[in-house]
Structure 1
Amino acid sequence: MADPIVVRSLDEIKFWSRIMKEHALFLSLGFTYEQKLLIAEAQQFIALFERIEEKLARFTVNSELSQVQAFNNEVYQATAAIWAYKRKVLGLTLRCEIRSNNYPLLIDHISREAAYFANRLKDLNSGILAPKADAIIEENVFFLRIMADHAKFIGHLLDPSERKLVEQAGEFSHDFDQLVFQAIDLDSMQPQSETKPLLSHFLNENKVSVASLRDFKKTARELIEACRIKSNIHPLLADHTFREAERFLEIIDLFEASLKRA
């Protein structure tokens, strides 16, 4: 029987390595012509995560745990490096040392995702398969904030003439901001054992909201790919945000299953 740590590790690397590679691409596309060194660094990270994807293909769910743990460490180092690069770019941007088409919030957003991925790899190598009940809310805060950010980015990258879609994106942004605050409130209600029914309800509420946003992203992606709406959204970025919403739905399912076992 396959080791669950191996299975989960390979799944996390498959999903997040592609995300990291695409982050580097999006940053490179947002830099201006004279920012050649930053573009070159981004391209190096694209190549680095492509090599990781190639190496990942050699593993199976029946691979030795020790080999997968060593691979986790290798991917962790790459992820820590791209996190540092993203934070460097954010610092340059906030100090107005560079001006690019990358929003500061977007740079912070993608650095938070790199930190999350790195921490998942550390947890897995420590034998932690899924967060315990008292960490579920914290992880929801992370993903809810990611979803809220996506709605904001979509709203700001759509052409202003796309009034209805801009309005819908704004509504999603507001809704997910409220869910973040709701999660923070729930997190402060101790002890956690007494909030289990509330947590179950909260996860279900999140699932409904994320599914709705996922469907909005799917429609937007299809319209962008067919050149039927006006925007500055790269088709790959539209697909990227859609995949992250799908991922959050999968994670909610894992949370719900772990609550039932608790």
Structure 2
Amino acid sequence: MGDPIVARSLDEIRFWSRIMKEHALFLSLGFTYEQQQLIDEANQFITLFERIEEKLSRFTVNSDLRQVQAFNTEVYQAAAAIWSYKRKVLGLTLRCEIRSNNYPLLVDHISREAAYFANRLKELNEGKLAPTPDDVIEENVFFLKIMADHAKFIGHLLDPSERKLVDQAREFSHDFDQLLFQAIDLDSMRPQSETKPILSQFLDQNRVSVVSLRDFKKTARELIEACRIKSNIHPLLADHTFREAERFLEIIDLFEANLNGAQS
């Protein structure tokens, strides 16, 4: 059995490096023809994360911990660099120095994901594997906002004539905003160990909503791939948001297991 830090590190890099590469692609597709320099920078990040994915394939769960920690540091630098690029694009957009088809909220959204990825790698190199109860809430705040954002993007990228799907996306946006506010309330209460049942109930509620959103995204992805709905949603973007919902479900399960382990 390999080191759990190694296994978790490789899992995080496998998932998030692909996400970062796709972010660069989506940004590049959203820029206009006169924004070639920004497109070129996005393409450089696609190449960078493809190289990381190629290096990742040489590691296994039995790889040496120090080598994996060095790789984590290398990937951390790439995540920090793409975060900086995304924040630059956001600044240019908010100051109206560029106009593109990338929503400011989308650019902010993907920069939050880059910061999350970099932070996870830093934590793993510090030996932090299992979350504390406070981390459970914080991580849920992060992912609930991600899910709420996804619902908003889907609603805005669907053709206005797709009224039923637009309404469904709006309902999901409202539901996840409510869950996010609930998480923020819980975060301000800073539950201690004796409130683990509350955390467990909180995770159960989130799981039910994420499963519904995941299934909606899966249906949307299939309809988009079959050209059965009208939208500006790239098929890869539909799959991308579906995978992030799946990831959130995995993390909820991980938190539940840790909470149950701490209770026993």
Query: Please, what TM-score do these two structures have when normalized by structure 2?
Result: 0.98
| Aligned partners of 2:203 and 2:256 also within 8 Å | yes
In structure 1, the residue corresponding to 2:232 is in which secondary structure?
coil
Provide Cα deviations, 1:162-205, integer angstroms capped at 9, x if missing partner: 00000000000000000000001111224422321111001000
Contact 1:189/1:195 (<8 A) preserved = no
Q: Is the 8 Å Cα contact of residues 30 and 101 (structure 2) preserved in structure 1?
A: yes
Q: Which amino acid is 2:206 matched to? A: N
Q: Residue type matched to 1:164 in 2?
A: K
Question: Which residue of 1 is the match for residue 72 of structure 2?
Answer: 72
Aligned to 1:213: 213
Matches of 1:11 and 1:179, distance apart in 2: 27
Runs of 4+ in structure 1 displaced over 3 angstroms?
Answer: none
Report how far residue 261 of structure 1 moved: 1.4
Distance 1:202 1:96, change over 3 A: same
Secondary structure of the structure 2 residue equivalent to 1:34: coil
Secondary structure, in 3 states, of the residue corresponding to 1:197?
helix
Question: What SS is found at the alignment partner of 1:188?
Answer: helix
Q: In structure 2, what is the Cα distance between the partners aligned to 1:143 and 1:35?
A: 31
Give the aligned partner of residue 27 of structure 2: 27
Do residues 228 (structure 1) and 245 (structure 2) align?
A: no
Task: Provide the rounded CA distance (Å) in 1 between the counterparts of 2:174 and 2:190.
Answer: 27
Structure 1 residue aligned with 2:142: 142
Matched-pair identity in %: 86
Q: How many residues align?
A: 262
What root-mean-square deviation, in Å, do the aligned CA atoms of Structure 1 and Structure 2 show?
Answer: 0.7
Say whether 1:86 aligns with 2:80. Answer: no
Residue 176 of structure 2 corresponds to 176
Partner of 2:133: 133
What is the CA distance between 1:134 and its match in structure 2? 1.6
- Alpha-carbon displacement from aligned partner over 1:121-158 (angstroms, at most 9, x marks no partner): 00000000132112110110000000000000000000
Give the Cα–Cα distance (whole angstroms) in 2 for the partners of residues 207 and 140 of structure 1: 11
- What do residues 92-145 of structure 1 show as CA deviations (whole Å, max 9, x unaligned)? 000000000000000000000000000000000000013211211011000000
1:237 aligned partner, one-letter code: L
Can you give the 5+ residue segments of structure 1 that lack an aligned partner in the other structure?
A: none
**Structural mapping, 1:90-101, within 5 Å:** 90-101=90-101
The residue that corresponds to 1:112 in the other structure is: 112
Report the residue type matching 2:79 in the other structure.
Answer: T
Looking at structure 1, the residues matched to 179 and 195 of structure 2 have their Cα atoms a distance apart, in angstroms, of 16
Name the structure 2 match of 1:251.
Answer: 251
- Look up the equivalent residue of 1:57 and give its one-letter code: S
Q: Secondary structure at the match of 1:61?
A: coil
- Supply the distance in 2 between the matched residues of 1:199 and 1:131 (Cα, whole angstroms): 13
Contact 2:133 2:191 in 1 (8 A): no
Deviates more, 1:188-197 or 1:126-135: 188-197
